[in-house]
Amino acid sequence: MSRGIWLCAIIVSCMFMPSATAHEPNTFTMIIGQEEVIPSNVTGQVLFTNDSVWFRNVDDRENITHTIRLDIDGDGLFNGTEDISSGELYSSCELDENGTKINQECEVIYKVLFNESTGLISGIFHYEDISSDGSVFTGRIVVNKDEHSTNVGPDPNYSTEENNEDGVTYTDNNRQGLIVLSMSAGIAAVAILMIISRPTPLHAEKYRELISQSEE
């Protein structure tokens, strides 16, 4: 009986173990236009280790380029030796008849990878968008550690500043419902196992009959 109860207890414990679902790498695109980058901030549970951010320039004003710089060392400046820069980003690059860029240094997209190979694993990264006309816009990117079971970022709000309270409540309610359902299933399993394992008492007559048979 005790063995069965222990087995059932292990099963119930497994019900409450957090799932370890690996995070698939994703690409998040940020649009560079005439005004600030859209979205200007990417925070909360959006980016995780192994994800990448693509800054795409769509500002097609004549002779206007953009440069993205990231503050990697966290000193509030963007000119440190550890800081990184995109160089000039154009809205388009001229191609030849084979679809190859005529100017190999021409870039429309700046790709930032957050993984072990780049050394950018997680944290808060501030950036600035410098336009060739002198305008400057700033923003921040939050990258969460990919810890599978619980990913909690430094900032719980998404960058667009839209508070989706209904969505949060819906998620919490679903989680609570699953916990209650799992607890109920576990309790029922323990109860059934105890009932099955409980010995059935013999009637006095049946007991005497078995004793007499054994003596014969």
Q: What is the CATH number of the domain that holds 113?
A: 2.60.40.420
pLDDT of 6 strictly over 80:
no
d(CA 102, CA 97): 10
Q: Identify the CA nearest to 112 among candidates 95, 103, 125.
A: 125
| E strand or H helix at 32 | strand 27-32
Q: Please indicate whether residue 151 or residue 101 has the higher confidence score (pLDDT).
A: 101
- 3-state class (DSSP) for residue 123: strand
Question: pLDDT digits over 127-145, tens only?
Answer: 999 999 999 999 999 999 9
Residue 41 identity: N
**Backbone CA torsion sign across 155, 160, 161, 166:** negative
pLDDT at 191: 56
- Please state the domain count of the chain: 1
User: Mean per-residue pLDDT for 143-169?
Assistant: 52
Residue 117 located in a structural domain: yes
Residue 171 located in a structural domain: no
Range of the domain at 33: 27-147
Residue 72 located in a structural domain: yes
- 3-state class (DSSP) for residue 111: strand
d(CA 160, CA 57): 19
Residue 116 located in a structural domain: yes
Predicted TM-score (pTM) of the model is 0.61
pLDDT at 147: 78
pLDDT at 41: 97
Q: Please indicate whether residue 48 or residue 185 has the higher confidence score (pLDDT).
A: 48
